[in-house]
Amino acid sequence: MARSTKTQKALNLNAAHALLSRGSSVAEAATILAQERGISLRQAYRYLQGARAIGRAIPVGQPSVPATFKIPRDVLAQLRAYSRHSGLPLSEIVTRAVEKCLTAAHRRGKHG
């Protein structure tokens, strides 16, 4: 069986949170979650445990897709150093930087 994506995990956690918020018992919620989400009962209990620990719904991000591009070696070295220092993955740093650049371009009226 394939591993769940981050998006699927977030959706499953939110479904578990919703069931618990409606007052369902853990056993009842696990059965419903397993049936509705197509997961094992054991996994449903894990999601319910996670939902109880978090105590709220979590944001669901868009699925990530791989992208290949070239950047100068010194920029990559700086990026990796920043990643180590900040604890953020490279993809998160690049995504934030690109989003910031695109937002600034949009504000200046440059839409590509």
In this structure, how many other beta carbons lie within 10 angstroms of the beta carbon of residue 81? 10
Report how far apart, in Å, the C-alpha atoms of 57 and of each of 14, 16, 60, 94 are: 5, 9, 9, 26
Q: pTM for the complete prediction?
A: 0.58
Q: Residue 86's pLDDT is what?
A: 92
Domain ranges of the chain: 6-54, 73-107
Residues of the chain predicted below pLDDT 50: none
Report how far apart, in Å, the C-alpha atoms of 51 and of each of 18, 21, 43, 79 are: 9, 10, 12, 34
